[in-house]
């Protein structure tokens, strides 16, 4: 399964980065291959200063070897080897009417001293962070998520949608990072699902990504925006930074286990502003967004 999934994310990285280059029309991905001293490495692909994408990354990596101490503690095991691989992407568009998007799909294996797999699971998800809210974009994004989920189990969409709202919550601001999507973790083999079923599900979600996001980009990329709207985006990007550096487990895990910093922090936006006590005008589009972020919605039934 580790080879199957890694081959899949290699192809998916190619497919997504080549499509994003076409959509952007100007910028191309810069590729950096890196090695992890303790085992593994990755293929980082970064896009900057495009016509559509101000900054973004579509990265894959696999790491393996002895379980780092932080993972031994987390899983309550005294020793053992592990293997983990995944694709992570974040795109920060120039135009404040085009939302930021994040996705991550990953696979994990743990071994006993004989090298047998003692545990294996998938995790991941994708979520959208708009700066101006178009209900129909949120509905489109969630519809693609739900359609992909429904092919595997009726309970997946409502469950993973709720987990997403819970996970991407900026507790110190009492608001969601964005309008959600899917979040799932520890998808293991059960009586109901084989590990192959789990792979098929994650593949379905990964394959649906471009359909969930690109139509929104195409629809909003030409909208004229003012300096004020750009500034609103830059201030809101500050909340994105706050979430990723204070709360996001993936980012903190990477930072605390000597991951490749520049690959992990590709998620941070290119230009960010922090203004003291910056509040939108009453009944403005900006305030409407904040109200929705404070009260995550059901976008589809």
Residues that bind a copy of itself (CB under 8 A): 30, 32, 46, 48, 55, 57, 171-173, 234, 238, 241-242, 245-246, 252, 255-256, 258, 261-262, 265-266, 268-277
Supply the minimum distance, in Å, between the C-beta of residue 43 and a copy of itself: 14
For residues 246 and 294, which CB has a smaller minimum distance to a copy of itself in the complex? 246
Q: Which of 89, 51, 77, 43 is nearest to 218 (CA)?
A: 51
For residues 42 and 206, which CB has a smaller minimum distance to a copy of itself in the complex? 42
User: What is the rounded CA–CA span in Å between residue 215 and residue 224?
Assistant: 18
Supply the minimum distance, in Å, between the C-beta of residue 155 and a copy of itself: 33
Between the two ends of the chain, the Cα-to-Cα distance in Å is 34
What's phi and psi for 199, nearest 5 deg?
Answer: -60, -45
Active site residue 102: yes
For residues 1 and 268, which CB has a smaller minimum distance to a copy of itself in the complex? 268
- The active-site residue out of 92, 102, 140, 142 is 102
For residues 34 and 134, which CB has a smaller minimum distance to a copy of itself in the complex? 34
DSSP readout, 201-228? HHHHHHHHHHHHHHHHHHHHTT----HH
Supply the minimum distance, in Å, between the C-beta of residue 255 and a copy of itself: 4
19-56 residues labelled b (16+ CB within 10 A) or e (exposed)? ebbebbeebebeeeeeebeeebebbbbbbbebebbbbb
Supply the minimum distance, in Å, between the C-beta of residue 253 and a copy of itself: 11
Residues 123/206, Cβ–Cβ less than 8 Å: no
Catalytically active residues are: 102
């Amino acid at each position: 399964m580790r080879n199957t999934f890694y081959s899949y994310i290699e192809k998916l990285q190619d497919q997504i980065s080549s499509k994003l280059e076409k959509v952007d029309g100007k910028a191309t991905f810069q590729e950096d291959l890196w090695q992890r001293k303790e085992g593994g490495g990755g293929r980082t692909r970064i896009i900057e200063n495009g016509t559509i994408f101000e900054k973004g990354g579509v990265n894959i990596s696999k790491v393996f070897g002895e379980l780092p101490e932080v993972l031994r503690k987390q899983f309550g095991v005294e020793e053992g080897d592990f293997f983990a691989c995944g694709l992570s992407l974040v795109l920060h568009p120039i135009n404040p009417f085009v939302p930021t998007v994040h996705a991550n799909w990953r696979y994990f294996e743990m071994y006993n001293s004989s090298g047998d797999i003692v545990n294996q699971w998938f995790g991941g998800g994708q979520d959208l962070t708009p700066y101006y809210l178009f209900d129909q974009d949120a509905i489109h994004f969630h519809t693609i998520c739900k359609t992909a989920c429904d092919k595997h189990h009726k309970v997946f969409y409502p469950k993973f949608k709720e987990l997403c709202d819970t996970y991407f919550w900026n507790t110190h601001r009492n608001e969601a990072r964005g309008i959600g999507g899917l979040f799932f973790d520890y998808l293991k083999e059960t009586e109901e699902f084989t590990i192959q079923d789990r792979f098929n599900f994650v593949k379905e979600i990964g394959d649906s990504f471009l359909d969930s996001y690109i139509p929104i980009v195409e629809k909003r990329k030409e909208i004229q925006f003012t300096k004020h709207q750009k500034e609103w985006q830059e201030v809101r990007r500050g909340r994105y930074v706050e979430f990723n550096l204070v709360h996001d487990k993936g980012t903190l895990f990477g930072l605390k286990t000597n991951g490749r910093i520049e690959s992990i922090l590709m998620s941070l936006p290119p230009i960010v502003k922090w203004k003291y006590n910056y509040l939108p005008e009453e009944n403005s589009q900006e305030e409407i967004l904040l109200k929705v972020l404070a009260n995550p919605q059901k976008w589809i039934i």
